[in-house]
Structure 1
Amino acid sequence: MANAITIATREGGGGDPASNFKLRLAIDQAHAANMPKENIQRAIDRGLGKGGGAGQLESVVYEGYGPGKVALVIEATTDNKNRTTSEVKNLIERLDGSFVSPGAISWMFADQGQITVSKEGKSLDVVFDLAAEAGAEDVEEAGDEILVYTKPHEVESVKSQLVEKGLVVKNAEISKVPTTTVQVTDADIARKILNLMEKLEELDDIQKVWSNFDIPDEILEKV
C-alpha cells in the first residue's frame, strides 16, 4: 500500500492529491485499509525524493494463465524487478499455471472505474438513481455494498458527486474487467485457482491480481 502511494506520487504529478488523480485513489485505498496518516505522508515524502528509496521503486505488470487456462494480470511495485519476476513466475508455474510475455493476456481486460459504496440504509434503486445523475455507467449489488461502475477517467468525478449526495464511499479504483470469462465447473480446478490467487496476493510486492474466472455458487460450495 505504501509503495503504491510512493509510485503514484512520483508518476502522477507530485504530492498534492488535489492535482494528482493517481495519488487520490491510492490515498483513498489506504484510508479504506486504515493506514495511519503518518505512514501515508511518509510514503508521499518518499515519492517526492525525501528520505530516499523512491528512485528504486517501479511498477511492473505480469501476465499468466492459471489452472483451467484462466487469465491472470498481476500488478506489482518493486525495488528489485528480477526478484519479483522470479517469485511470480515460480509461484505460477508451481501451482499448475504458465507465465507468459507482456501483452499476451492484457488485451482480454478493459480498464473500468469501480466505486464501492456502503448501503447505509440506501436501496439499490436509490443508489442507481444517484449514480446515474453523477454520470456512472452501471450499478451492481454485492452483499452489504453496492458497486458503481464508471469510465476510467471519470471515477474521481463520480466519486466526489456521490459523496456530495450523502453516500458513504468505501473505495474507488481503476479495475481491470475481463471482456470474456472462463466458467469453472470443476471443484478441484476452482480450488487450485483460488489457492493461486491467494498465494499471489500474499507476495509482498503484489498490489492487485485480476482474473477472468467465473465460479458458480454450486461449485464454490464444494471448494
Structure 2
Amino acid sequence: MSGHSKWHNIQRRKGKQDAVRGQLFTKLSRDIYHAAKEAGGNPDTNFRLKVALENAKQNNLPADSIARTIAKATGSMPGVTYEELLYEGYGPGGVAVMLEIVTDNRNRTAADVRHIFSKRSGNLGETGCVSWMFNRVGRIEIEKDSCPMSMDDLMMLVLEAGADDLKEDHDSYVVTTAVESFARVRDALEAEKIALADAELSYEPTTTVELTEEQADPILDLVEALENNDDVQNVYANFLIAEE
C-alpha cells in the first residue's frame, strides 16, 4: 500500500473506521472545500459541491462548519484572507512528506506543524527539500462494487477521455491523469453515471521507501496528527507498507 494514498486508505489498512466523528468531519469539510475552490460556492451550478453538501448533511456536519468551509474556499469570509501553501519535510525513517495548507495565519500554522513534526521524530524542511520526489497528477477513485462497467470497459472509457492509467487498489479502481486532463476524465465518468469515491489533484511520489508494519507505525502517527490539524488540507508521503 502506498503512503501517498489519502488517509482513508491508511485507516483501512490500520483497521480504523471512517465513521470516527472527527476524522469523518475533516474529510467531509475537505470535500466541500475542494469543490467550492474549483467551481465556486453555488451548489446549483457546481455539481461536485452539491454532492459534497448532501454527504455532509447526511452525516450531520454542522451548518456553521459548512458555511465557514465554503467561505474559506471562495475567499468570501469578511476580514479574513486565506493563503494556500505547500509545506515539505521528513518523517521518521526518512519518509518524504508534503502538505497542502490553507491558513489565515501562516506563522501560527508553521509553528503548529513544526511542533507536530518534531514531537514525532520528524523535521519540517525548506521549500524544495522533497517536492522534487513528487509529481502533480489527477487521481480518481472508483469503488469496484459501485462501478457498472467491467475493468476493460472502464479502461477504454478513461483512456479515450485522456487518462494516463487505471489500476486496481484493493476494492477500488484508481485512475491517474495529467493535471490538464483531470476535469475531462472526471466529466466523462460522471456522464456515464459512475459514482466517484474520490476525485482530486494529488501529489504522487516518484520514489518510495518500503517499511514493515512496525516501522510504519511512527509515520502513520505523524500523518494522522497532521491530518487532524485544521489548516492541513492534504498529506502526501512516499512510503510503502510491505505486504506480509
Give your verdict on TM over 0.5: yes
Gaps of 5+ in 2: 1-25
1:144 Cα offset (Å): 2.7
Q: 1:1-223 residue pairs with structure 2 within 5 A?
A: 15=41, 27=49, 31=52, 34-36=55-57, 43-45=69-71, 50-55=76-81, 57-119=82-144, 120=146, 121-185=148-212, 187-218=213-244
**Partners of 1:46 and 1:53 within 8 A in 2:** no
Distance 1:189 1:84, change over 3 A: same
Tell me: CA distance 1:201–1:5, structure 2 relative to 1, closer, same or farther (3 Å). same
1:35 positional shift: 2.5
For residues 17 and 114 of structure 1, do their structure 2 counterparts lie closer, same or farther at Cα, with a shift above 3 Å needed? farther
1-structure distance, mates of 2:189, 2:34: 27
In structure 2, distance between residues paired with 1:96 and 1:47: 32
Q: Is the CA contact 1:65–1:99 (under 8 Å) kept in the aligned structure 2?
A: yes
Counterpart CA distance in 2 for 1:66 and 1:76 is 17
Question: Cα–Cα, structure 1 residues 153 and 41, in superposed 2: closer, same or farther, change >3 Å?
Answer: farther
- Deviations 1:8-52, CA, capped at 9 Å, x for gaps: 867x68656899xxx887x38x71892249665664456666551
Q: TM-score scaled by structure 2? A: 0.73
| SS in structure 2 at match of 1:161 | helix
TM-score using structure 1 length: 0.79
Alpha-carbon deviations, 1:114-147, whole Å to 9, x = none? Answer: 1112322433222112211222110011233211
Unaligned 5+ segments in structure 1 are: 219-223
- Cα distance in structure 1, aligned partners of 2:99 and 2:243: 25
Offset at 1:170?
A: 2.5
Deviation at 1:165, TM superposition (A): 2.4
Aligned length: 210
Q: Give the fraction of aligned pairs with identical amino acids, expressed as a percent.
A: 36
Deviation at 1:189, TM superposition (A): 2.4
Q: 2:174 aligns to what SS in structure 1? A: strand
Comparing both chains, which one has the higher relative contact order based on Cα–Cα distances under 8 Å and sequence gaps of 6 or more?
2
What do residues 55-109 of structure 1 show as CA deviations (whole Å, max 9, x unaligned)? 2x21122111011101000111112211111111111111111121111111110
